[in-house]
Amino acid sequence: MEITTRPIIEDESVAFREAIMIGFGEDLDDEEFPPEWFADLVPLDRTVAAFEGNQIVGTLAGFPFDVTVPGGVQIPMAGTTIVTVAATHRRRGLLTAMMRDHLDDGRSRGEPLVGLWASESLIYGRFGFGVATEREEIEMDQTRISVEGDAGLVRLTTPEEAGKVFPALYDEERVKRPGMLSRAEKRWKREVFFDPSARRRGLSAQRYLVHETEGRADGYAIYRQKPNWEAGFANGEVRIREIIATTSAAHTGLWRFLTTIDLFPQVKRWNLPVDDPLRLKVPDHRRIIRKRWDALHLRILDVVQALEARTYAADGTLRFAVDDPFIPEAGGEFELTVADGVGLCHRIDRSGIDLTMDTVDLASLYLGGGDAEAMAMAGRMTGSEESVRNLNRMFRGDVAPWCEEVF
């Protein structure tokens, strides 16, 4: 039977949600994945479903976000999410068809970027996505470390107060860090503060912690606890969902509290910026076990719009070609001229090109965290050593890009 793809209508939302959960090997639970979550966060016109007859055999959707780019500007980004293909319909081109619809929709809306968190690292490169941010996963035994530095006061707070205080702190921080995403009020309500027992997976309810310096809130943390006793000794776990610090004192105070909770020596956080200063505040830093992973993957839909939206670390002119096998018309030849950190970009003909790269690698460089010279050494771009050095110098950012929002 022929497979067709299109957005769903409201009457198909339950079947769509069921197909999503089956795709991830789970059952639909209205407590964990309620209709209100879907209705508030997923615009129906941004969904793509693959149908075989009346049966949904593939799912995809897009969240409307703004993402911070170098220079502190926020630009539109479609957040690709809930991507599944039924196990019975693999290797039949469903993901390719849904992704083409999704990217065409982003282009029709004038969105220069699409982003996602990849469930599998090999899937999305063929659609033009490159790794634009990385994250560090850490764990430590707090009985073996101490966090040094000046700090203010920390206190536990209620979800109601957190709902009033945390969003402003998040917004204050997100304009400083490329890769961070906007959060609408409904996302705070339905995702961040949504804490049904079905989502706890054997851990406690969420705890909300605020840090204050001279009476002003300047940081917060959201965490859970898991009690554990081994041979008569407490070995509980603190699992940090989110930690945002707008000052060094807040960073120190929050981490000091989280690593000194009695009965809970095991502390874990799965998503920290790769340049987070925690390791510099812990004298025996080797006690922090650190692993680095890919995080936000980006896809550039409009090279000119994207490159003119951000600022640059060095002035200069680059003439380069971008190969885009999945959307050939989005690639081509471009000239980028940067003066006083501001870039102007336009299309040119191929004569006089300094270097050539794939759209995947341009996306990896875009937020300022990529390394063009390493890419060239890996054979991922071609061009003179001087042009690669200029590219690296111009695109590198002052801080490591990072994405707190997982979607």
| 279 in the same domain as 316 | no
Q: Beta strand pairing status for 73-85 and 113-117?
A: parallel
Q: List strands edge to edge, sheet with 355-358.
A: 342-347, 332-339, 316-323, 355-358, 381-383
d(CA 221, CA 255): 9
Three-state SS at 367: coil
Question: Domain check: are 147 and 281 in the same one?
Answer: yes
Q: How many CB atoms lie within 10 A of CB 327?
A: 17
User: Exposure string (b/e) for 352-381, b if CB count within 10 Å is 16 or more?
Assistant: ebbbebbbbbbbbbbbbbbebeebbeeeeb
Query: What is the pLDDT, as a whole number, of residue 352?
Result: 86
Q: What is the pLDDT of residue 295?
A: 98
Q: Based on the domain organization, do 240 and 164 belong to the same domain?
A: yes
Q: Is the pLDDT reported for residue 350 higher than 80? A: no
Active site residues: 124, 407
End-to-end CA distance of the chain: 32
Each residue's pLDDT tens digit, 157-216: 999 999 999 999 999 999 999 999 999 999 999 999 999 999 999 999 999 999 999 999
Q: Which of 312, 320, 324 is nearest to 346 (CA)?
A: 320
Q: CATH no. for residue 273?
A: 3.40.630.30
Whether residues 36 and 159 fall in one domain: no
165 and 233 fall within a common domain:
yes
* 173 and 261 both lie in a single domain: yes
Residues 206-221 pLDDT 10s:
999 999 999 999 999 9
- pLDDT for position 351: 81
pLDDT of residue 1: 80
Those residues whose C-beta lies under 8 Å from the C-beta of residue 233, and which sit 6 or more positions away, are: none
Rounded to an integer, the average pLDDT of 317-330 is 97
Query: Residue 335: its pLDDT value, please?
Result: 97
CATH number, domain at 345? Answer: 3.30.1050.10
Structural domain for 236, as ranges: 136-294
Question: What are the φ/ψ torsions at residue 304 (nearest 5 degrees)?
Answer: -60, -50
In which band, very low, low, confident or very high, does the pLDDT at 349 lie, cut at 50, 70 and 90?
confident
Tell me, yes or no, whether 306 and 227 share the same domain: no
